[in-house]
């Protein structure tokens, strides 16, 4: 069973409903408040073969967008439920049919739905329990107010796989590993990702593959704190990721580029 499904079932405490089978969605509670849990998981019977390993493809992108927008539309009395994205996605599927049928639109729909929910006041929290790669993470996780991650060797965050990066840069995988020791943005391990300032918290001491009840409760407590933090934050944008001490230390060039762009734009 994938980590995404393991943690979805452990946290949601409910049976997922709806289609496709690769997108899990269930409503539950965190810290006494309502929450909608979402995850993308492998489905060996998926309609599109290249999305059978947990990739975030056409059906997955549109389904996530629909589920998120449902939560926004059901505000009712103004109780904006939290959205918890359980993240374990190896990337988007690369295939002729996916590109022909508008994979970019499906992923963009998920991005837009999560951003719309966040801007409307829904606390959006991403919990990275496994892989968080490329466009799949952009569509399912990166739009969150708060990003949490398990401190585990199996948690990886990056733009593309190591083999793909090696081909593009014409370097060996070993060379990439050496570069990653000095440049956190090129690394894959979650500790390096945390150094970039995007993480709200790195959760230590939790078994990622087979968590026991106490470990699940630990993660639920961290989720509750992250949701509360997002709910009481006056800002609904993502600028805080560049204001953290880690970002100021390891993303200095990015910050300077943004400052120059702002100067050129206002000038």
**Domain ranges within the chain, ordered by starting residue:** 3-236
Q: Phi and psi for 87 in degrees, rounded to 5? A: -110, 120
Query: What does the pLDDT read at residue 76?
Result: 58
Token output for 253: 């060039």
Query: What does the pLDDT read at residue 89?
Result: 96
Residues 148 and 251: their CA atoms lie apart, in Å, by 20
Q: Phi and psi for 180 in degrees, rounded to 5? A: -65, -25
* Other CB atoms within 10 Å distance of the CB of residue 213: 8
Query: What does the pLDDT read at residue 222?
Result: 98
Residues 252 and 259: their CA atoms lie apart, in Å, by 11
- Given a contact cutoff of 8 angstroms between Cβ atoms, the answer to whether 4 and 86 are in contact is yes
Q: Which residues of the chain have pLDDT under 70?
A: 76-78, 185, 267
For 60-73, what is each residue's pLDDT tens digit?
999 999 999 999 99
Residues 73 and 156: their CA atoms lie apart, in Å, by 33
Residues 1 and 4: their CA atoms lie apart, in Å, by 8
CATH class of the region 3-236: alpha beta
Query: What does the pLDDT read at residue 213?
Result: 96
Q: Among residues 111, 194, 106, which one has the least CA distance to residue 157?
A: 194
Query: What does the pLDDT read at residue 131?
Result: 94
């Amino acid at each position: 069973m994938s980590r995404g499904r393991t943690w979805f079932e452990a946290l949601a405490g409910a049976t997922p409903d709806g289609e496709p089978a690769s997108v899990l969605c269930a409503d539950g509670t965190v810290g006494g408040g309502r929450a909608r849990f979402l995850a993308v998981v492998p489905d060996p019977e998926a309609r599109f073969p290249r999305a059978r390993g947990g990739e975030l493809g056409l059906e997955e992108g549109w389904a996530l967008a629909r589920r998120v927008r449902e939560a926004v539309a059901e505000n009712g009395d103004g109780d904006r439920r939290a959205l918890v994205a359980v993240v374990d996605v190896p990337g988007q599927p690369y295939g002729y049919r996916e590109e022909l049928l508008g994979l970019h639109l499906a992923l963009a729909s998920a991005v837009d739905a999560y951003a719309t929910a966040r801007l409307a006041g829904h606390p959006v929290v991403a919990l990275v329990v496994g892989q968080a790669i490329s466009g799949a993470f952009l569509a399912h996780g990166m739009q969150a107010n708060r990003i949490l991650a398990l401190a585990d060797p199996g948690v990886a965050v990056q733009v593309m796989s190591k083999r793909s990066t090696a081909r593009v840069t014409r370097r060996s995988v070993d060379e990439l590993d050496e570069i990653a020791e000095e440049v956190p943005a090129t690394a894959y391990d979650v500790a390096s990702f945390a150094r970039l300032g995007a993480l709200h918290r790195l959760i230590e001491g939790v078994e990622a593959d087979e968590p026991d009840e106490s470990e699940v409760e630990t993660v639920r407590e961290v989720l509750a704190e992250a949701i509360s933090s997002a709910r009481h934050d006056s800002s609904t944008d993502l600028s805080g990721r560049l204001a953290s001490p880690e970002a100021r230390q390891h993303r200095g060039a990015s910050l300077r580029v943004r400052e120059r762009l702002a100067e050129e734009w206002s000038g």
